[in-house]
């Protein structure tokens, strides 16, 4: 486990969270997802500026909640997460990946040179819009130098999920049976990062 921020793999990191808010998630479970995000942010070195964070949500459309250069204090960021609305719809993972690559990680929106780019995708479903584009979009994300973790919740079919993360896939894919199991998962992700997974 990473016990000190300067030694952690998510220090000096630009991190973007991509959150599925499709209808199958439900409003109640979306709140649990937001709590997971807040727990993870509390592990990051936000206040000292080492870690910048942006958040995207998606269902039928993609919604940029805030860019990497929007918030520079943990307290402000946590309040912003609380205010993220649940916008239900279909599962358009492909477009969320496109926005992640083309809009979130740009210098104009806060992406810093010579700082690692990390994305964490949280989804409970398989794409049902633009499904044929999902895997190619994921490949372009990784090819652009973004290190990707994928978290799947209650998935009967994990085929698409395992096409999203960086290699080795087994180390960068996390699956849980329900949204309650997200609690504590942020520690596993940080353990992976602190052990050198994204250096």
User: Closest by alpha carbon to 145, among 171, 118, 110, 106?
Assistant: 118
State the CATH architecture for 23-194: 3-Layer(aba) Sandwich (3.40)
pLDDT at residue number 2 = 42
pLDDT < 50 stretches in the chain: 1-7, 9, 195-199
Contact 172, 148 (CB under 8 A): yes
How far is residue 29's CA from residue 176's CA, in Å, rounded to a whole number?
A: 13
Q: Give 68-96 pLDDT, tens digit per residue.
A: 999 999 999 999 999 999 999 999 999 99
Our measurement of the distance from residue 47's CA atom to the centroid of its chain's CA atoms, rounded to an integer in Å, reads: 19
> According to the model, what pLDDT value does residue 197 have?
47
State how far the Cα of 153 lies from the Cα of 170, in Å rounded to an integer: 16
pTM value is 0.91
């Amino acid at each position: 486990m990473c016990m000190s921020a300067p030694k952690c793999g998510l220090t000096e990191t630009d991190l973007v969270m991509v959150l599925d808010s499709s209808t199958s998630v439900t409003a109640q479970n979306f709140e649990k997802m937001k709590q997971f995000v807040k727990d993870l942010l509390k592990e990051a070195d936000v206040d000292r500026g080492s870690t910048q964070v942006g958040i995207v949500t998606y269902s039928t459309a993609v919604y940029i909640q805030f860019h990497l250069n929007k918030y520079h204090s943990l307290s402000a960021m946590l309040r912003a997460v609380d205010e993220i609305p649940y916008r239900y719809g279909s599962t358009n993972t492909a477009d969320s990946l496109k926005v992640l690559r083309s809009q979130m990680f740009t210098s104009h929106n806060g992406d810093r040179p010579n700082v690692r780019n990390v994305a964490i995708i949280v989804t409970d479903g398989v794409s049902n819009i633009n499904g044929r584009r999902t895997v190619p979009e994921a490949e372009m994300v990784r090819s652009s130098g973004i290190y990707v973790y994928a978290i799947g919740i209650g998935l009967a079919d994990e085929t698409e999920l395992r096409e999203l993360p960086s290699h080795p896939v087994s180390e960068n894919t996390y699956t849980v049976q329900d949204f309650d199991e997200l609690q504590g998962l942020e520690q596993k992700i940080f353990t992976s990062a602190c052990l050198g997974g994204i250096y």
